[in-house]
Amino acid sequence: MMILKGIGVVLLGIGVFLLATYVVMRLWNWLVPSLFNGPRLRFVQALGLFFLTRLLFGFGGPWRGGFGHGNYSGRHNHWHEHRQPDRKPEKNNTSQEHATSFKLKTVNE
């Protein structure tokens, strides 16, 4: 029973991959030739293109923290570590005064 379930899952995965390849082919053949005067793709070429993009950008799904981006759990607040402590706003400091008092560091300094 478990073997049949496993075979069914594998066949479903292959079917979804082939359906996604067909969608890539149809979208390419609908958009690229008319917009960019590019070539039309056959199914095998679309299969290669789809597989190549999955290799380059990852095989992950939404259950893995986004498509092809791996698991970033615990990293979503990473920018807080490098943020400066909150400062109290200066009194009567307009944005124009702030803009003129701002000095950029150059590479030579």
pLDDT of 109 higher than 90: no
pLDDT at 26: 96
pLDDT of 9 higher than 80: yes
Q: Are 44 and 24 in contact (CB under 8 A)?
A: no
Domain chopping of the chain, boundaries: 1-60
pTM summary value: 0.52
pLDDT of 22 higher than 70: yes
Which residues have CB under 8 Å from 38's CB, separation 6+?
Answer: 32
How far apart (Å, rounded) are the C-alpha atoms in residues 2 and 9? 10
Tokens of 36: 């960019």
User: How many helices (H) and strands (E) are present in the chain, helices listed first?
Assistant: 3, 0
Residue range 24-80, pLDDT digits in tens: 999 999 999 999 999 999 999 999 999 899 889 887 655 554 444 454 555 555 555
